[in-house]
Amino acid sequence: MKDTYQHKELRRKLVEALRKKGIEDQAVLDVMMKLPRHFFMEKAFEELAYEDKAFPIGSDQTISQPLTVAIQTSLLEVKNREKVLEIGTGSGYQAALLGLLGARVYTLERHRALYQQAKQLLERLKLGNIRCFHRDGFKGLPEFAPFDKIIVTAGAEEVPEVLSRQLKIGGKMVIPVGKGVQEMLVITRTGENTFERDEKGSFRFVPFLKGLE
């Protein structure tokens, strides 16, 4: 895998475009500048890796659009050493960014082929503390809960309570919720049984599905 001067230049332009589209979190822009997105995409799309678009990654799934990734990552407000659960490993790109931000990342994927590919790639890139699991995200990861943060990268019809209950008190989850079109929600656990919810705009994700493949 090569990261050429041209790739870096295209990445710089993408990051500049994200800034113009309203992304202000410098730490997020920095890691997006650092991480070669083309490593996480099929060879056929390599030249398009720095367009602000989603692309197919196999198993009928997509790597999210960079603007969406930047918004979700900014909303998550990851701090160094925080325990972060990601649902929907997909290509591994989002997990890698979280790793570069210093999080201790636990990422779950329901498709075996995607899980294996992402795990192999993330091990090879050695980007930080990232653990991959072939699991159904509807169950979360009880043996490692509670988490400081949870990020869901597939569109859920409602907020799965199992997941909100795996947040620390004071922790938060960023999750797109809705049928067809999703509203990005930030759920903050304010107490044992209390949660706050903020709406952050409309998005379109691949569906959050039950069971393993």
Nearer to ligand SAH, 27 or 209 (CB): 209
By the 8 A CB rule, do 208 and 154 touch? yes
**87 is a site residue for ligand SAH (CB under 6 A):** yes
**46 is a site residue for ligand SAH (CB under 6 A):** no
Beta-carbon contacts of 5 under 8 Å, excluding residues fewer than 6 positions away, are none
**209 is a site residue for ligand SAH (CB under 6 A):** yes
**52 is a site residue for ligand SAH (CB under 6 A):** no
Residue 64 annotated to the active site = yes
Nearer to ligand SAH, 97 or 187 (CB): 97
At position 204, the amino acid (one-letter code) is: R
Minimum distance of ligand SAH from residue 55's CB (angstroms): 9
Q: Which stretch binds ligand SAH (CB under 6 A): 2-10, 119-127, 170-178, 203-211?
A: 203-211
Nearer to ligand SAH, 162 or 169 (CB): 162
Nearer to ligand SAH, 122 or 187 (CB): 122
Least Cα distance to 90 among 107, 66, 68 occurs for: 107
By the 8 A CB rule, do 146 and 85 touch? no
Residue 19 parent element (H or E): helix 5-20
Which string of x and - marks every residue 162-201 that binds ligand SAH (by CB under 6 A)? ----------------------------------------
**62 is a site residue for ligand SAH (CB under 6 A):** yes
Tokens of 16: 């500049």
Residue 52 burial (CB count, 10 A) = 14
* Neighbouring-strand partners of residue 112: none
Residue 5 burial (CB count, 10 A) = 7
CA distance 91 to 194: 34
**Residues in the site for ligand SAH, rule: CB under 6 A?**
61-64, 87-88, 90-91, 93-94, 108-111, 114, 136-138, 153-154, 206, 208-209
State the catalytic residues. Answer: 64
